[in-house]
């Protein structure tokens, strides 16, 4: 399915949300579909994701990111590093309108897309930065810093550790649980938890890696 059939995609998305037991209202589901439509449209020109089939985008992108939403319970201020086309950041922002979500990427065409999504979907809880995360300075540090298929775990924490609030945590969205990456973490960081994810309609391995500072 290469064309964008909103009704069919909505059906798959709704079933997946039910399986994930997420409490999303009709307006949020419409926003997720609006976001998907923009991603599909812009992707033809900007190559934001290697996926071209909107049905695959529902499972591999939307439901994949939605499966991680419960891990952000209690977070109020989140940073998505290497946000790309907005995964998981944009999905988190729609699913958790009470949470501030910042997204950072070095690629201008990607942040231009994110800024467009923010405007069209009227997401007042979203902030977009175009720069290297090492150079970002903020007044209010983040409770959670996340990334999806961004970089080696040690690079991820080294580059963005200065932005994490006291007592905060990293949550990395990974495919397979990378043992070698976990072993390479700098001394003051440790993997506190490794959580397998079940994504509706997706057979591939998915894990959340929770990283915290050792005392």
pLDDT of residue 189: 95
Q: What is the mean pLDDT of residues 111-130?
A: 98
Per the CB < 8 A criterion, the answer to whether 134 and 107 are in contact is no
3-state secondary structure 4-45: CCHHHHHHHHHHHHHHHCCCCCHHHHHHHHHHHHHHHHHHHH
Q: Are 20 and 163 in contact (CB under 8 A)?
A: no
Per-residue pLDDT reduced to its tens digit, 5-60: 999 999 999 999 999 999 999 999 999 999 999 999 999 888 788 888 999 999 99
Range 6-213 classified under CATH 3.40.710.10: no
Q: Say how many C-beta atoms besides its own lie within 10 A of residue 201's C-beta.
A: 15
The residues spanned by each domain of the chain are 6-213
Contacts of 142 (CB under 8 A, 6+ apart): 77, 78, 79, 102, 163, 164, 165, 168
pLDDT band at 82 (very low <50, low <70, confident <90, very high): very high
Q: Is the model's pLDDT at 1 over the cut of 60?
A: no
Q: pLDDT tens-digit profile of 132-179?
A: 999 999 999 999 999 997 889 999 999 999 999 999 999 999 998 778
- Cβ contacts of 17-20, under 8 Å, gap ≥ 24: 17/63, 17/66, 19/200, 20/63, 20/66, 20/67, 20/69, 20/200
Task: Give Cβ neighbours of residue 4 (< 8 Å, ≥ 6 apart).
Answer: 37, 40, 54
Q: Is the pLDDT of residue 182 over 90?
A: no
């Amino acid at each position: 399915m290469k064309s964008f059939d909103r009704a069919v995609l909505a059906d798959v998305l709704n079933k997946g949300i039910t399986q994930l037991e997420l409490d999303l209202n009709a307006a949020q589901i419409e926003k997720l579909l609006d976001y998907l439509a923009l991603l599909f449209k812009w992707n033809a020109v900007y190559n934001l994701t290697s996926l071209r089939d909107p049905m695959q985008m529902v499972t591999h992108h939307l439901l994949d990111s939605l499966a991680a939403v419960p891990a952000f319970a209690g977070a109020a201020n989140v940073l998505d590093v290497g946000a790309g086309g907005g995964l998981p950041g944009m999905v988190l922002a729609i699913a958790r309108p009470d949470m501030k979500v910042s997204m950072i990427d070095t690629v201008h065409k990607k942040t231009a897309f994110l800024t467009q999504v923010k405007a069209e979907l009227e997401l007042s809880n979203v902030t977009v930065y175009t720069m290297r995360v090492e150079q970002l300075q903020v007044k209010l540090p983040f409770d959670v810093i996340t990334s999806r298929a961004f970089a080696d775990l040690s690079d991820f924490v080294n580059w963005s550790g200065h932005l994490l609030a006291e007592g905060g945590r990293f949550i990395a969205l990974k495919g397979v649980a990378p043992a070698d990456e976990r072993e390479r973490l700098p001394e003051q960081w440790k993997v506190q938890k490794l959580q397998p994810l079940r994504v509706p309609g997706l057979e591939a391995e998915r894990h959340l890696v929770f990283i915290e500072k050792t005392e």
